[in-house]
Amino acid sequence: MKLYTYFRSSAAYRVRIALRLKGIDAEMLPIHLVKNGGMQLQADYRAINPEGLVPTLTDEGQNLSQSLSIIEYLDETHPTPALLPNNALDRAWVRSLALAIACDIHPLNNLRVLRYLTGELKVSEDDKNTWYKHWCVEGLQSIEKILANDTRVGQFCYGDTPSLADCCLIPQLYNAQRFKVDLTNMPTLQRIQANCLALPAFALAAPEQQADAE
């Protein structure tokens, strides 16, 4: 198994956590998102991932894109430890947490979008940072509210073992802290973050631990 990754990519970070949780030793192939105008946009990578986005997981001769789809695939093909609950209502809940991050926070704040704001739209650095914080804080506060009021929450988003939701939450919190988003009014997220980062799977998947880290 091979993973095309970039150390700072939230989406790649999600998959790195899942691989570690599953104990899968995938080969890491760095795709630099900044150098040379972005290696992900070049023809050879586009042949693997037509969207020009990381990550891509290569397995069984096929190139799989989209981090959430990749994690579902890993969970189906390597069922232990499970990253989704064993009943439909709870699975829906865990998936909805992951999607609240993957659809409602991260797409607004990733590199290509921030570049479009300051490039094509000539938005100032200050306004760009306000944009970042706006969507990040709004999204994370909603998730804090959901988690703070749900008895399914344990040491992690769902009970006492990590799930797909934690695979998405930790990279988003990492990203938020890099942009100096204040998490003090999000005690549940902070508690879950501390519990996750105490596990080697999460710690070793962190950007700083990657071979391509700068």
Tell me the closest approach of the beta carbon of residue 198 to a copy of itself, in angstroms.
27
Only one residue has tokens 């001769």, namely: 61
Residue 188 to residue 151: CA distance in whole angstroms: 12
How deeply is 121 buried, as exposed, middle or buried, from its count of CB atoms within 10 A (0-12, 13-18, 19+)?
exposed
- Total residues interacting with a copy of itself, rule: CB under 8 A: 46
| Nearer to a copy of itself among residue 42 and residue 130 (C-beta) | 130
3-state DSSP of 95-162: HHHHHHHHHHCHHHHCHHHHHHHHCCCCCCHHHHHHHHHHHHHHHHHHHHHHHHCCCCECCCCCECCC
Contact letters (x/-) for a copy of itself, 108-137, by CB under 8 A?
A: x----x--xx--xx-x---x--xx--x---
Residue ranges in 24-63 that form contacts with a copy of itself under rule CB under 8 A: 50-53, 59-60, 62
Using CB under 8 A, list all residues that contact a copy of itself. 50-53, 59-60, 62, 64-66, 68-70, 72-73, 76-77, 88-89, 91-93, 95-96, 99-100, 102-104, 106-108, 113, 116-117, 120-121, 123, 127, 130-131, 134, 139, 142, 145-146
